[in-house]
Structure 1
Amino acid sequence: MSATEYDLELDARGLFCPEPVMMLHNRINDVQPGGVLRVLATDPSTTRDIPRFCQFLGHELINQSEDDDLFIYLIRRGQ
């Protein structure tokens, strides 16, 4: 899957912990199981929080990248 293939996007730029993960918890429900959510964030704590979120709730972190101060995540929703 290329970095541009996703079903929905969550723009959490400018938000700080715990807001990005709280928003992610709500937004992931808007994606069908197996669908992909792209998350954009600027809070460095997301590099720890989003992988843990995926692990604990059974979602797949497909890709995690950083472009300057922007963190980009691709998450496949679990069942």
Structure 2
Amino acid sequence: MTSLQPDAILDASGLNCPEPVMMLHNKVRDLHGGDLLKVIATDPSTRRDIPKFCVFLGHELLEQAEQDGQYLYWIRKKVD
């Protein structure tokens, strides 16, 4: 598992598409450029949706993992 220390954590466990990405969009707005966000999700569709979100908006997906039925993502907010 990663040793990255997030500035914020978004727990979207139990939520289904499109809620995790909608919550992610709102959470990223509250972060400063360069901040690291850890996202925890249980919806398998996030494996597709979160990487696409990052590419589309220019954020950096540093790492993603699957552990004990959870999908974990570490996202660095783009610096404006």
TM over 0.5: same fold?
A: yes
Cα distance in 2 between the residues matched to 1:69 and 1:37: 20
Paired residues for 1:1-79 under 5 Å? 2-3=3-4, 5-78=5-78, 79=80
Paired residue type of 1:73: Y
* TM-score using structure 2 length: 0.93
Paired residue type of 2:58: G
Unpaired runs of at least 5, structure 2: none
1:49 match: secondary structure: helix
* TM-score using structure 1 length: 0.94
Matched length: 78
Cα distance in 2 between the residues matched to 1:32 and 1:2: 21
Q: Deviations over 1:6-34 (max 9, x none)?
A: 10010000000000000000001111100
Post-superposition, which runs of at least 4 consecutive aligned residues in structure 1 deviate over 4 A?
A: none
2:10 match: secondary structure: strand
Query: Identity over aligned residues, as a percent?
Result: 58
Paired residue type of 1:2: S
Paired residue type of 1:55: V
Cα distance in 2 between the residues matched to 1:11 and 1:68: 15
